Amino acid sequence: MPRGAIILMGLRAAGKSTVGAVVARRAGLLLVEIDDRAARRMNAPDAATAIRRDGLPAFREAEAACLEAALTEQGGSVICLGGGTPTAPGAADQLRAACPPARLVYLRATPATLRRRLESTDLSTRPSLTGKHPLEEIGAVFAERDPLYLALADTVIDIDDLGVDEVVGRVIAIAE
Query: Which domains does the chain carry?
Result: 6-175 (3.40.50.300)
**Average pLDDT for consecutive 10-residue bins of the chain (176 residues)?**
74 88 88 92 91 90 92 81 88 84 89 80 62 71 88 91 90 83
pTM: 0.87
pLDDT of residue 75: 65
pLDDT of residue 2: 39
Burial of 29 by CB count in 10 Å (0-12 exposed, 13-18 middle, 19+ buried)? Answer: buried
pLDDT of residue 4: 65
pLDDT of residue 1: 34
Cα 76 to chain centroid distance, Å, stands at 17
The DSSP string of 114-147 is HHHHHHTS-GGGS--SSSS-TTTSHHHHHHHHHH
pLDDT of residue 118: 74
pLDDT of residue 120: 72
**Which among 124, 155, 125, 160 has a CA at the least distance from the CA of 142?**
160
Say which residues have a Cβ less than 8 Å from residue 86's Cβ, sequence separation at least 6.
9, 92, 95, 145, 148, 149, 152
CA distances from 72 to 2, 75, 77, 152 (A): 15, 9, 11, 19
